Structure 1
Amino acid sequence: MTLPTLFVPHGGGPCFFMDPNGGPPDPMWQPMQAYLAGLIDSLPEEPRAILLISGHWEEEQVTVHAGNGQPLLFDYYGFPEHTYRLRWDAPGSPDVAARVKELLEGAGFPVGEERERGWDHGVFIPMMVAVPGADIPLVQLSLRKDLNPADHIALGKALAPLRDEGVLIVGSGMSFHNLRTRGPQVTPVADEWDDALTAAVTDADPARRAARVAAWDQLPHAHFAHPREEHLLPLMVALGAGGEGPAVRDYRDHVMGWTVSGYRFG
Structure 2
Amino acid sequence: MLQLNETDFHLPLSEFSFERRFDDRGAIRWMQANWSKSFVFSALYAALVFGGQHYMKPRPKMNLRRPLVLWSLSLALFSIIGAVRTGSYMLHILSSSGFRRSICDQSFYSGPVSKFWAYAFVLSKAPELGDTAFIVLRKQKLLFLHWYHHITVLLYSWYSYKDMVAGGGWFMTMNYAVHALMYSYYAARAGGVRVPRPFAVLITSAQIAQMAMGLTVSGLVYGWMQQGDCPSRLDNITWAALMYLSYLLLFSNFFYQTYLRRHAADAKAHKTE
TM-score greater than 0.5 by the shorter chain: no
Question: Max radius of gyration: which structure?
Answer: 2
- Report the TM-score range of the alignment, normalised by the length of the smaller protein: under 0.3
Per the normalisation by structure 1, the TM-score is 0.24
Which has the higher relative contact order, 1 or 2, with Cα contacts under 8 A spaced 6 or more apart? 1
Per the normalisation by structure 2, the TM-score is 0.24
Q: Which has the higher strand share?
A: 1
Q: Which has the higher helix share?
A: 2
